[in-house]
Amino acid sequence: MEEIIGGILRPIGRFLVEVVFQIIFELLFHFPGYFICKVFSGGKSEPKDSWIFFTSVLFWLIVAVVGYSAYSFFSGGGNA
């Protein structure tokens, strides 16, 4: 009985995890790069995957640097 339930639930769980990670990847990684490439190309053509990848990495690096800088600025600089 346990093998039957495991045999049914395991593929369903793998499918749900795959769908969730695919959605997260598309929204958080692919979408910003695609949108930025589309804006700067003037909408003339579809951006290539390599440009989308590099633009997404650059976007998230800028977000991290700006977030860290804002945190450092607003945190007061010291505890003393």
Domain range enclosing 12 = 2-74
pLDDT exceeds cutoff 50 at 28: yes
The pLDDT confidence band at residue 61, using thresholds 50, 70 and 90, is very high
Cα 53 to its chain centre, rounded Å, is 11
Per-residue pLDDT averaged across 27-39, rounded?
A: 90
pTM of the model: 0.68
Per-residue pLDDT averaged across 61-69, rounded?
A: 96
* Domain membership flag for residue 79: no
* Domain membership flag for residue 51: yes
pLDDT exceeds cutoff 70 at 77: no
Per-residue pLDDT averaged across 14-28, rounded?
A: 89
* Domain membership flag for residue 44: yes
* Domain membership flag for residue 80: no
**Helices of type H across the chain:** 2-25, 31-41, 49-74
Distant-in-sequence, close-in-space partners of 41: CB < 8 Å, separation ≥ 6:
47
Number of domains in the chain: 1
pLDDT on residue 70: 92
